[in-house]
Amino acid sequence: MAKKRRRLTDEEANLLGFELKKHSKDRVTATYSLDSNQWLQITKVKHKGIIESVVKNSSITKPNDYKEEKFFLSAYCKETKTILGIEDFCKKYNQPFENVSSYKFLPYHYKEPSYNIVFKEQLNEDEFNIEDIRIILNSEIKQSYTYKRKKSKRNIEGVIKWSDLHFGAHIRNLIKTPDYDSDVLLDGLLESVEDVNQLGFSKAHVHINGDLIESFTGLSHINSWMSLDKNKIGSNSIMLCCELLEKALVKIDNLGSIKIVAGNHDRLTSNNKEDVKGGAAELIAWGLKLKGFEVEFNSMVITHKVNGINHINLHGHLGISKRSSSDIILNYGIQGVYNLICEGHLHSIIETLSAKQRDNFKIVSDDSIDHRRMYLQSFFTGNYYSESLGYTTNAGYSIFWDNGKGKPKHLNATR
């Protein structure tokens, strides 16, 4: 089995049973040769540890949470017989001074003076390398879907559209907003599958318009951890979302292709400036491919022509959605056929509007003889933040097909 050289901490090397190697003072890792199974083991442990740390720190860490540590670091410099300032103290013990959030000088707490320091939460982007997570998925997800054709009622293809699934959200006991979790989501998906099967298409495609998960890190937004199922973050959110989607997809008669665009919640990082391509949605798409489904993913927009209708799928959070319908069709559509632009992100869009703007909001924002632009209903019905702004919504989904004249017929279902 081929081996690769990887840097490991002493703890990771101990886990694999390696004899510890010496490393320089300015490094906390040394280089070892690992086979793929050993690297998979480290990746799983490392990834789980990061996510658990994020959730733990997000829920209990406070700016002035100065917890006494068991070890002692002296701030007294014997050479100069002076007390080190906080910057010199950090340099002495190889701590990142630039990441200090707050600190407290302890002149008499120990036999010698010291500091208690709270550091800013830091996530190493390398720890969330998408290729490392692929290793985990590849070891956990096996092909399970085999296409089966069923005699259809009509010789026409249809499209079922799902948007804003927010898998992993856990909403309870709000006044107007219904409870929401993965079981509620699965019930809604299965209900939509029953409807599309009743229509008896020769092929039924699935479009998912972003926000497949609620949060990968648990820190997508301030206090987002309060509305999360803690067992459905990190790599678990990817694998469990794939499993849930599979339960619905396998029940679709004559399933065609699955088209997925990323949403603003589908990032692998807490900061939306670090992952702008929706890495979590990409991994879910990849996981569904491993299961045997025909899947296409794009972080921004997907165009898909089905019979006489050309579908242009966006999530709605990127700058592309601020452009006019004619510009979007010119750049991503097909000239000479009916173009249907569909966007998700509905609950978030309304959250940013004033009360008067919300009253005037229209699901169909642009309608013409050769195109239509509309917002899709969300499976996710909201959280404390949206309800505090006075906005609540019903869950729903949409099904489209060609009426035989190159124009869309539309079933808009509210749950």
Please tell me the predicted confidence (pLDDT) of residue 221: 52
Name the residue with higher pLDDT: 156 or 279. Answer: 156
DSSP string for residues in 187-212: HHHHHHHHHHHHTT-SEEEEEEES--
How many angstroms separate the CA atoms of 96 and 110, rounded? Answer: 23
- Please return the burial class of 340, using the count of CB atoms within 10 Å of its CB with bins 0-12, 13-18 and 19+: buried
Please tell me the predicted confidence (pLDDT) of residue 13: 81
Both tokens of residue 7? Answer: 């840097």
Query: What domains can be seen in the chain, in order of their start residue?
Result: 3-60 (no CATH), 76-119 (no CATH), 144-414 (3.60.21.10)
Paired residues of 75 in beta bridges: none
Both tokens of residue 403? Answer: 């009426």
How many angstroms separate the CA atoms of 73 and 110, rounded? Answer: 10
How many angstroms separate the CA atoms of 316 and 273, rounded? Answer: 17
- Tell me the pLDDT tens digit for each residue of 248-293: 999 999 999 999 999 988 877 765 555 557 889 999 999 999 999 9
- Tell me the pLDDT tens digit for each residue of 314-337: 998 888 988 999 999 999 999 999
Rounded (10°) angle between helices 235-249 and 182-198 = 30
Name the residue with higher pLDDT: 228 or 52. Answer: 228
Give the residue ranges of DSSP H helices in 61-92. 86-92
Please tell me the predicted confidence (pLDDT) of residue 123: 44
How many angstroms separate the CA atoms of 216 and 240, rounded? Answer: 12
196-216 as b/e: b if 16+ CB within 10 A? bbebbbbbbbbbbbbbbbbbb
Which of 130-144, 171-185, 221-235, 299-313 tops mean pLDDT?
299-313
Nearest to 286 by CA among 189, 141, 147: 141
Please tell me the predicted confidence (pLDDT) of residue 219: 59
Are 246 and 288 a contacting pair, CB within 8 Å? yes
Statement: residue 75 has pLDDT above 90:
no
Both tokens of residue 145? Answer: 């879907």
- Vertex 34: Cα angle to 31 and 40 (nearest 5): 120
Could you give phi then psi for residue 404, rounded to 5 degrees? Answer: 95, -5
Q: What rounded mean pLDDT belongs to the chain? A: 80
- Tell me the pLDDT tens digit for each residue of 204-222: 999 999 999 988 876 555 4
Both tokens of residue 320? Answer: 């592309």
Statement: residue 164 has pLDDT above 80:
yes
How many angstroms separate the CA atoms of 355 and 365, rounded? Answer: 18
CA 189 to chain centre: 19
How many angstroms separate the CA atoms of 74 and 72, rounded? Answer: 6
Name the residue with higher pLDDT: 20 or 353. Answer: 20
Name the residue with higher pLDDT: 354 or 235. Answer: 235
Beta-carbon contacts of 270 under 8 Å, excluding residues fewer than 6 positions away, are 54, 121, 123, 217, 218, 219, 220
Statement: residue 243 has pLDDT above 50:
yes
How many angstroms separate the CA atoms of 161 and 363, rounded? Answer: 15
Name the residue with higher pLDDT: 135 or 246. Answer: 246
How many angstroms separate the CA atoms of 160 and 76, rounded? Answer: 68
